Amino acid sequence: MLLLILLILVGTISGVHISDQNTSWTLTNGNSSIFVEGSVPGGVYTDLMKAKVLSEGDFYYRYNDLNYKWIGRSNWTYSTIFNVTQDLMTNSRICLVFDGLDTVAEVIVNGNIIGNADNMFIRYVFDVKDFLTVGSSNTLEVNFWSPVEWAASKYELQAENYIVPPKCVDPAFKGECHANHIRKMQASFSWDWGPSFPNMGVWKDWHLIGWNSLSLTDVLFSSTILDTMPSTPNTDLMPAWNISVKVFADATISHGSILGDLTVALDGTEIEITAPMSAFVEDHVATLVWNYTVPQDTVSLWWPNGYGNQSLYNLTVKWQEADGIESSSKKIRVGFRTVELNQELVDESYPEKGRYYRVVVNSVPMFMKGSNWIPAHVLPELVTEKYTRQLLEDARDTHQNCIRVWGGGIYESEDFYRIADELGILIWEDLMFACSMYPTDPAFLSSVMKETETQIRRLQHHASILLWASNNENEAALRGNWYGTASNFELYKQDYVKLYVEALRTTVLKEDPSREFVVSSPSNGLESEQEGYVAQNPYDDLYGDTHYYNYLSDAWSWRTYPRTRFASEYGFQSWPSFKTLKDVTTEEDWHSTSDMLQHRQHHPMGQKELDLQIGLHMHLPPLSDDSLQAFQHYLYLGQVHQAMAIKTESEFYRRGWSGLNDDGRGYTSGALYWQLNDIWQGASWASIEYGGRWKMLHYYVKNFFSPVLVSPWQDYEKLMITIVSDLTSDINDATLSVFVYRYDDISGPVKTKLENVTIPRQEAFVAISYDLWDDLQIDQLCQTDVNDPEDVCFIVTELTSLGEEISRNFLLLGKPKDSPIQNANIQVESIEQVSESLYDVSLSTDSISLFVWLETDIAGVFSDNGFIMTSKSHKVKFMAREATNVDDISKSLDIMTLSETFTSSTTKVVNNLPEKFLHENDIRNLLYDDEF
């Protein structure tokens, strides 16, 4: 009797039995010629590296993406032996749960096939109780088919009816074909910025779970405002909220209902409520819904970066079955905020002027300043929480408040979204469909609907999620006939609507009606929907968002760019620094035309386009110069071009925040450049190199995304100065200083203008305009015997308030290659340690210096870089990310300037083309001419 009582008491406090197995895994290939230790979570490439089956050194070394193709074209098996206790076997239901299988797999327990997988993004639950035995000799095998071969077979099967294009990626990608026929990271088959390494493996956690009632899996959270929201951030007046908590659980029964108690507790408040509840069960999934009103002043608002605090609360949900024997709990972290994508007409009287595409958070309209995110490594298991945090903090520290998770990668890790919540970075979340048409057979639709359900339920509670978007560029691809779909447009349009609208849109809105759903990006938003979801012109500047790339026009001219409602993609390539590139290359690769660089350049015509853009404003090192110095100069010039081009474009978009042109263009409400991070050491659009080193662009991002921006721009003979403010309060005592400098005079500005300005909140306005000739007198002050005045002088603007600098910027009136830039002698005068990781670096120069670039082998970030030295001395700070000292920094510090690259070049040519050709109108034909 005492033993029976003891067992009952133990039962009353027991929870769901999760048997996390610390087992050893083995990995074998299809013909058993390779037998090594395996890792779970993990993947085949990682395990082969650990076992030294693959060559030692950096995984991305030289041509390894070609050398390792055999891996993705082979079948592999992970196997282990695990223990099953008698206690576990007493449960009514026992399941083997995989949070992620990459990708096409057969799961075998004790010789029995218990299930199959074909989608990297689905959580799989397999019933296994009938196949288990008590003891430590239970076997588990996960057989993975080659994703390359499987995708090809699916393509061939589909092609019997009709082709779902593209048949293959561009040869420049050096990748594999038919990624659109397998539900896997699309970029693992390669992209125009990344390599092909189609991984396989148990890439997320697995569990053996036993229970008798419910095992909680996901908690969805939504909050609806009851009172009027505050008009400005950080106000003491907090609203009251109606919150809804929707709980999903794996159930022991397939259909019916289960009685129990649900407890919901919100940490940091007095809310902890228990209520009896009946869980509705369908297909072994139980659903519970709990609603409650949170009183005013109980919680604080969550704000995006730059607008207020990121208040977050732990929400714990606990289920106790009716007899009190078993419980299950789940904890999430939530924030209280409202998010709206405003698509109202900009002018009710003139509907033809289009619609807004403006994000409003907590009733505050906000300009979305940010970037696009790609996978941080082609092998997800190698991305650490530390590296994810560093990249997101680098975005936060450059005033970014929005990141778009691009649809050709993965639904990111829990770390990613948790850190975004903490940093106040809104996430534009694409579903994982990109740059392709996709099948719409019943099996495919069923799989992607389950995928969407899995991911929405996993991610929905995060305060950082801004909106869901079903695909990247597929509306534009269909309408633009990128893949030959015009031959049967109605068929492919029917498939498009069937997949993204009828299947995915329906699934997303069912799971999360609290957020906006965008069918595609770019898209005209509501206008596209009214045109049957495929607009005649998905790039219409009067609606929605646009992706804009133009490598053939002058990228340093604001006139090149469209005045769009929302720029969700735009950018220019550059190569990473030599310090990053040298680790995966050898000396024979260190030339701009080397075979290695051609291999790493996956963008078709990318090298020629980059050379063209550099040559429009600067001098390329002669192709005949194969010195290391020339190669380093080439890499540097590419980063200068990228920084200047995206600076020009981003400032143009920010200046468009307020007001419309006569044709209705304007009210630009977002600028998300392509792209934040890199997947490997190669040519790409990233502002942060693989490994975390900032490119020159990322330093420029810090300036052009500053909360208050002073932006000078030239309108023919006029110098216009626009001030943009994201602040929610006015600045009434600002001083605007405008300086005119000569490139050949370090003594100081040759002209200065001072203006008193008031900066209204949340507005972009032209603060002042000057005539370059009459007001600034550059025709007199900027003369030489051989140069035009605009090539001799440049403009520096500075905005201060109460003696503090708010914003500083510059405008080059002419092209540096035509300017009398002097050879600068820059010296490091001193390096002083300020604190454990902070150092002051003092520089001197004897000439005006453009694009002064500091590099060190020590991991860290400078307070400013790529700057113009307009005085003989300049000081920057260096924030080290690793232990170091003054001597180590001094020994490894390199400095490069534009004048250094000029003096090393002997001729004004671009790829041996006379400079005059670059000014002709038919530049596109020139670029693609065979002789070029």
Please identify every residue annotated as catalytic: 473, 569
Backbone angles phi, psi at 617, to 5 degrees: -125, -20
Assign 608 to helix, strand or coil: helix
Burial of 770 (0-12, 13-18, 19+ CB in 10 A): buried
Distances 873 to 36, 322, 748, 825, 838 between C-alpha atoms, Å: 59, 76, 12, 12, 20
> In Å, how far from its chain's centre is CA 923?
32
Q: Which of 318, 312, 243, 254 is nearest to 280 (CA)?
A: 254
Query: By the 8 A CB rule, do 142 and 101 touch?
Result: yes
DSSP 353: G
Residue type, 767: A
Radius of gyration of the chain (CA): 30
> What is the dihedral sign for C-alpha 450, 453, 457, 460?
positive
Distance CA 815, CA 831 (A): 34
Query: By the 8 A CB rule, do 571 and 675 touch?
Result: yes
User: 311: which 2 tokens?
Assistant: 């208040």
Q: Which residues of 568-605 are buried (b: 16+ CB within 10 A; e: fewer)?
A: bbbbbbbbbbbbbbbebbeeebbbbebebbebbbbbee
Distance CA 48, CA 55 (A): 9
E strand map for 457-584: 465-469, 516-518, 546-548, 567-570
Q: Which of 640, 764, 815, 928 is nearest to 367 (CA)?
A: 764
> What is the dihedral sign for C-alpha 64, 70, 72, 73?
positive
Strand-pair category, 465-469 with 426-430: parallel
User: 903: which 2 tokens?
Assistant: 């003096």
| Residue 290 β-bridge partners | 245
DSSP per-residue letters across 737-779:
EEEEEETT--S--SEEEEEEEEE-TTEEEEEEEEETTTTS-HH
Query: By the 8 A CB rule, do 645 and 555 touch?
Result: yes
Distance CA 13, CA 262 (A): 16
Distance CA 427, CA 609 (A): 31
Residues across the chain: 932
| Residue 320 β-bridge partners | 261, 327
Burial of 48 (0-12, 13-18, 19+ CB in 10 A): buried
- Name 289's Cβ contacts closer than 8 Å, sequence gap at least 6: 244, 245, 246, 247
